[in-house]
Amino acid sequence: MAAKTVSQNDVAAILSGRLDAPFTVFGPGYRGQAGLLVAFDPHAASMSALTPRGAVALAPMGGGVFAGDIGRARRYRLRAEDGTRAWEYDDPYRFAPVLGDLDLHLIGEGRMQRLWRVLGAHPMQHQGVSGVHFALWAPNARRVSVVGEFNAWDGRRAPMRACGAGVWELFLPGLSDGTVYKYEILPQDGAPILKADPLGFGHEHPPATASIVRDIEGFDWADGEWMQTRATRNDRAAPISIYEVHLGSWRHTGGRALSYREAARDLVDYAHDMGFTHIELMPLSEYPFGGSWGYQPTGLYAPTTRHGGPDDLRALIEAAHDRGLGVLMDWVPAHFPSDAHGLARFDGTALYEHADPREGFHPDWNTLIYNYGRNEVRNFLTSNALYWLEEYHLDGLRVDAVASMLFRDYSRAVGEWVPNRDGGRENYEAIAFVQDMNCLAYGEGPPGLMTVAEESTSFPKVSAPVHEGGLGFGFKWNMGWMNDTLRYMAHDPVHRRHHHNLMTFGLVYAFSENFILPISHDEVVHGKGSMLARMPGDRSAQFANLRAYYGFMWGHPGKKLLFMGCEFGQAHEWNHDEQLDWPALEDPAAQGLQRLVRDLNTLYRATPALYRRDCEAEGFEWIDRDAADLSVLAWLRHGAPGDLPVAVVANFTPVERRWRCGLPQSGRWREALNTDAALYGGGNRGNLGAVSASARPAHGQPFSAELTLPPLSTLFLVPDGV
């Protein structure tokens, strides 16, 4: 029988890091030679295999490569010595694959709905041994290795098995939760590159860039009652008032941002006290640059470690649910940064992005655009949406920059974009991706969730079901309403009568989508100033204008969203590096505005006519939309049959008026809320708590009442019995 031998070419390949099929070389059965074991540790001067029948000395082949015949032994450990110390470990190359043929088939077709359960780094028991299973998609790599402190970041020591479908895997015994790692990828051409794990569940604190093994199994959720009933809270017939938060700058403690668990106490208590129904967290997927506010993520499957670990974020979400608050998170599938450790040219090729910069580069943000036409990339993203909804019990995702995905010419000049197959500007692949994501989220995710589109164009049917030709979102931000109404409010009141249509035009299309009215972070950055600073007049007038505007907003059809700090009139523009200006609440005017927002939320939640038909034309009726010369607007809100109506009247001039208002029924209408009340910092002018409607027709209504309209104010009138 021929002697068992090891090729010097293989030894050279090991030492140079060019070994591309490690399981044919390492482990027992070198190149099909039964029992011939090859192992490598460049720090070892000698090595032996510890088998059930005893130790077998392995012969040195040079440079830390060792070989020897261990017979039929399949369970063994390696023992290495360097002359001063000895160490033992399980050989990764004696373990069978973890992934099966079905896994690889579904990954290859882009149909692995829960991709995170097979790719990424998973602590586990495999063949009776504890360790971590690593799996990665890198179809164009020559070699992929797992590197970290455990192997001195040496890419020669833990090369992975190429399984098919572009997937590489390796079980590394002895590793556990908390292990820091990266992948060293040898491209077809050029030197090896280091990459963080695209499906890593944890990452180092920026500016460090490695991934961290996180065991995301086993969190003992205690929000079962919320999860069973939340469908009624996220429905378009429910009151939805969202508090948008950048967790890094909401409030600081000891000179730093709150942890997830601190926010579980402080932020949740505050949002609950303010009467909001939901908290929306700006992106928490790991991101390297703080100035991106999370909108340029590199770790799409990892909660940012700035505030804690995965279980800490879960504790925040669970605490919100315990207080009756839903939690949404901003999700960014539109683009990703070009940081070297991220997805850019991940395996040496344009893998996640388009190779052609006319399709793959975003000129607005200097970022890269996902290749939505590639099955594996689309699967990576749709699975990520499901991941956050399932693993973190998020109640919804607000999808960022949808318009930039839908149109190939978004922010591009003529000749700088590639038309679709029909010569048009619509991005068919991105549209299909968005539809797939919504179908998967609503079809496979926990019941009762919502998805929300930040979509700034008039693209049709954004919030219509996919089977009706829509994109499938639950809600859409009403950017047109926000832009128009803020333009109106910026005008000096003496000129507002010339711009009256800015306040009424939104009702032309208000029921074409399931709209959320957003006053978001985008309205208080980049030189726009704060919401208070955008109001005209002296400081007293600014507060009065803002109070009237918030009353108009809460009385208007559509769900509500308000960015943090806007609820108390922070005077300066939002700065992500600083906490909100909480000392401003020492000012009675700021206290009054905060109290107004709390009371608006309370009234909104308690009054079905203000929310039940937010998205239906039958829920709204103009009383008077034509009083432009007075800058007065009046309308009725209707709920379901049996719900009493609400009359909302806004006066956007600094002039007190006596004004007859048509009403649908006679009798006493109480003043449920008056933004000019002294409680809110106003002049306490109004109607002494109520008006009486008599049988005098006005504005097409059979009854009417004479109202006092305070300057710069919004009134809510409800019939007795509400």
**Closest by Cα among 34, 76, 81, 26 to 53:** 76
Q: In the predicted model, is pLDDT for residue 254 greater than 80?
A: yes
Res. 74 pLDDT band, cuts 50 70 90: confident
SS (H, E, C) 366-419: CEECECCCCHHHHHHHHHHHHHHHHHCCCCEEEECCHHHHHECCCCCCCCCCCC
Taking only the tens place, the pLDDT of each residue in 602-653 is: 999 999 999 999 999 999 999 999 999 999 999 999 999 999 999 999 999 9
Give me the mean pLDDT over the 337-360 stretch. 96
**Closest by Cα among 184, 188, 151, 191 to 168:** 184
Domains belonging to the chain, first-starting first, are 8-90 (2.60.40), 101-212 (2.60.40.10), 224-477 (3.20.20.80), 618-719 (2.60.40.1180)
Q: In the predicted model, is pLDDT for residue 685 greater than 60?
A: yes
Predicted confidence at residue 73, as pLDDT, reads 79
Q: Are 346 and 195 in contact (CB under 8 A)?
A: yes
Does 454 participate in catalysis according to the annotation?
yes
- Rounded-to-integer distance, Cα 130 and Cα 90, Å: 10
What 3-state class would DSSP assign to 580?
Answer: coil
Whole-number CA gyration radius for the chain: 31
Predicted confidence at residue 658, as pLDDT, reads 97
Give me the mean pLDDT over the 64-69 stretch. 96
Res. 4 pLDDT band, cuts 50 70 90: confident
The first and second tokens of residue 15, run together, are: 């030492």
- Rounded-to-integer distance, Cα 456 and Cα 462, Å: 11
Give me the mean pLDDT over the 196-216 stretch. 97
The first and second tokens of residue 290, run together, are: 């703080």
**Closest by Cα among 511, 512, 528 to 520:** 528
Predicted confidence at residue 212, as pLDDT, reads 98
pTM, two decimal places: 0.96
Give me the mean pLDDT over the 427-437 stretch. 97
Taking only the tens place, the pLDDT of each residue in 327-336 is: 999 999 999 9
**Closest by Cα among 171, 149, 146 to 159:** 146
Q: Which member of 41, 154, 391, 454 is catalytic?
A: 454
Does 400 participate in catalysis according to the annotation?
yes
Predicted confidence at residue 20, as pLDDT, reads 87
Predicted confidence at residue 722, as pLDDT, reads 45
Res. 339 pLDDT band, cuts 50 70 90: very high
Taking only the tens place, the pLDDT of each residue in 505-526 is: 999 999 999 999 999 999 999 9
**Sequence letter at residue 209:** T
Res. 1 pLDDT band, cuts 50 70 90: very low
Q: Which member of 204, 244, 280, 400 is catalytic?
A: 400
| Mean pLDDT of all residues belonging to the chain | 96
Distances (CA, A) of 706 to 6, 280, 622: 100, 41, 17
The first and second tokens of residue 128, run together, are: 């009776």
Q: Please list, in sequence order, all residues whose beta carbon lies within 8 angstroms of the beta carbon of residue 642, skipping any fewer than 6 positions away.
A: none
Taking only the tens place, the pLDDT of each residue in 440-485 is: 999 999 999 999 999 999 999 999 999 999 999 999 999 999 999 9
Taking only the tens place, the pLDDT of each residue in 530-549 is: 999 999 999 999 999 999 99
**Sequence letter at residue 639:** G
Predicted confidence at residue 2, as pLDDT, reads 54
The DSSP code for 541 is H
